[in-house]
Structure 1
Amino acid sequence: MSDAIKHECGLAFIRLRKSFSHYLKEYGTVMWGLNKLYLLMEKQHNRGQDGAGIAAIKLNVEPGHPFMHRIRSAQPQAIGALFQNIAEEVNELTKYNPEIINHPGLMKGHVKFLGELLLGHLRYGTQGKNNAEFCHPFLKRHTITTRNLALAGNFNLVNTEELFNKLGIEPGPFQKQSDLAAMMEIVHKHLVDADEASPAKPDIKNVLKEVIPQFDGGFTVGGVTGDGVGFVFRDPHGIRPCYYYIDDDVIVAASERAAIRTTFNVGENEVKELMPGNALIVHEDGSYEIESVVAAKERKACSFERIYFSRGSDEKIYKERKALGFNLSEQVLNAIDFDLKNTIFSYIPNTAEVAFLGLQKGMQMYLNKIKIERILSWGKDYDEEKLEEMINRRIRVGKIAIKDVKMRTFITEDASRNEMVQHVYDITYGTVRPGIDTIVIIDDSIVRGTTLKQSIIKMLARLQPKKILILSSAPQIRYPDCYGIDMSKMGDFIAFNAAVEILKDRGQEQLLHDLWQQCKDLKAQNLLHTENLVQKIYKSSTSTEISNKIAEMITPKDLGLPVQVIFQSIEDLHKACPNNLGDWYFTGNYPTPGGNRVVNQAFMNYMEGKNERGY
Structure 2
Amino acid sequence: MKKEYCGLFGVYGHPEAARMTYFGLYAMQHRGQESAGIVTWDGGTIREQKGMGLVADVFNERHLGKELKGDIAIGHVRYSTTGASLIRNAQPFIVRFGDLRLAIAHNGNLVNTLELRAELEAQGSIFQTTMDSEVFVHLIAKNLNGNTIEDAIMKACRKVKGAFSLLIMANDKMIAVKDPHGFRPLAIGRVGDNYVFASETCAFDLIDAEEMRTLNAGEMVVVEGGKLTSYTYCESTPRRQCIFELIYFARPDSTVFGEVVYERRKKMGEVLASEHPQKVDFVMPFPDSGNYAAVGYSQASGLPLELAMIRNHYVGRTFIQPSQDMRDFSVRVKLNPVKSMIKGKSIMIVEDSIVRGTTTRTRVKKLRELGAREIHMRVSCPAIRHPCYYGIDFSAKGELIAANSTEEEIGKFLGLDSLHYLSIDGLLSSVEDKHSYCLACFNGDYPIPPCQGAGKMCLEDQG
TM-score, with normalisation over the residues of structure 1?
0.69
TM-superposed CA distance for 1:422, in Å, is 6.3
> 1:437-491 CA distances to partner (integer Å, 9 max, x unpaired)?
32111111100000122x2111110232232111211211111111111114122
Aligned equivalent of 1:26: none
* Conserved 8 A contact 1:326-1:355: yes
Match of 1:34, SS state, is helix
Secondary structure of the 2:437 match is: coil
Encode CA deviations 1:526-559: one digit per residue, 9 max, x unaligned: xxxxxxxxxxxxxxxxxxxx2111112223xxxx
Task: Identify the match of residue 347 of structure 1 among 279, 285, 293.
Answer: 285
Aligned partner of 1:440 among 341, 345, 348: 348
Deviations 1:16-71 (A, max 9, x none): 07xxxxxxxxxxxx5x3333222211111111200100111121x4xxxxx11111
Q: 1:218 aligns with which of 157, 163, 178?
A: 163
Aligned length: 450
Partner of 1:6: 3
Larger Rg: 1
Flag the 1:218–1:601 CA change in 2: closer, same or farther, 3 A.
closer
Please give the root-mean-square deviation of Cα atoms over the aligned residues, in Å.
2.6
In structure 2, relative to structure 1, the CA distance for the partners of 1:397 and 1:245 (3 Å cut) is closer
Alignment of 1:316-355 (within 5 A): 316-333=260-277, 336=278, 339=279, 342-355=280-293
Give the aligned partner of residue 239 of structure 1: 183
- 2:390 maps to what in 1? 483
Partner of 1:304: 244
SS in 1 for 2:365: helix
Q: Which amino acid aligns with 2:346?
A: T
Give the deviation of 1:293 after TM superposition.
1.4
Cα 1:39–1:260 shift into 2, 3 Å: same
> Is 1:451 the counterpart of 2:359 in the alignment?
yes
Which of the numbers 294, 300, 309 marks the counterpart of 1:362?
A: 300
**Distance in 2 between the 1:309 and 1:278 partners?**
23
Q: Tell me by how many angstroms 1:121 deviates.
A: 0.6
Q: Report the Cα offset of residue 265 of structure 1.
A: 4.1
Task: Report what 2:23 is aligned to.
Answer: 39
Q: Summarize deviations over 1:272-323 as a string: whole Å, max 9, x none.
A: 011000011122x332201101223111100000111111013611110100
What's 1:254 paired with? Answer: 198
Residue 116 of structure 1 pairs with residue 24 of structure 2: no
Q: Which has the higher helix share?
A: 1
Structure 2, unmatched stretches of 5+, are none
- Check conservation: 1:164, 1:170, Cα contact below 8 A: no
- Displacement, 1:178? 1.0
Are residues 578 and 81 of structure 1, via their aligned partners in 2, closer, same or farther at CA, if it must alter by over 3 Å?
same
Return closer, same or farther for 1:265/1:205 CA change in 2, 3 Å cut-off. Answer: closer
Q: Which residue of 2 aligns with 1:581?
A: 437
Residue 219 of structure 2 corresponds to which residue in structure 1?
Answer: 278
Give, in whole Å, the separation in 2 of the partners of 1:422 and 1:458.
12
Q: Would the aligned equivalents of 1:346 and 1:398 in 2 still touch at CA under 8 Å?
A: yes
Task: Quote the Cα distance in structure 2 between the aligned partners of 1:45 and 1:210.
Answer: 32
Query: What is residue 139 of structure 1 aligned with on the other side?
Result: 94
Structure 1 counterpart of 2:323: 411
Q: Give the drift of 1:575.
A: 1.3
2:421 maps to: 567
% identity of equivalent residues: 25
> Which of 30, 43, 58 is the aligned partner of 2:42?
58
SS in 1 for 2:221: strand
Aligned equivalents of 2:373, 2:286: Cα separation in 1: 20
1:423 aligns with 2:332: yes
Output the CA distance in 2 between the equivalents of 1:459 and 1:597. 48
Q: CA deviation at 1:409?
A: 4.8
Q: Is the 8 A contact 1:482 1:488 kept in 2?
A: no
Number of the residue aligned with 2:50: 72
Report the CA distance between 1:112 and its aligned residue: 3.6
Offset of residue 421 of structure 1: 5.2
CA drift of 1:418 comes to 3.3
CA distance in 1, matches of 2:164, 2:461: 19
- Residues 172/190 of structure 1: CA separation in 2 closer, same or farther (3 Å cut): closer
1:240 aligned partner, one-letter code: R
Counterpart selection for 1:81 from 40, 58, 67: 58
> Does the Cα contact within 8 Å between 1:140 and 1:188 map onto a contact in 2?
no
Structure 1 residues 239-280: Cα deviation after superposition (integer angstroms, max 9, x where no partner):
0011002466211111012322442343xxx42011000011
Task: Tell me the CA shift for residue 8 of structure 1.
Answer: 2.2
Aligned-partner Cα distance in 2 for 1:114–1:570: 49
Q: Using structure 2 for the length normalisation, give the TM-score.
A: 0.90
User: Which stretch shows the higher mean deviation, 152-161 or 245-254?
Assistant: 245-254
Provide the residue aligned with 1:209 in structure 2: 154
**Whole-angstrom CA distance in 1 between matches of 2:247 and 2:431:** 9
SS at match of 2:9: strand
Structure 2 counterpart SS, 1:232: strand
Normalized per residue, which structure has more strand? 2
- Contact 2:246 2:265 (8 Å CA) reproduced: yes
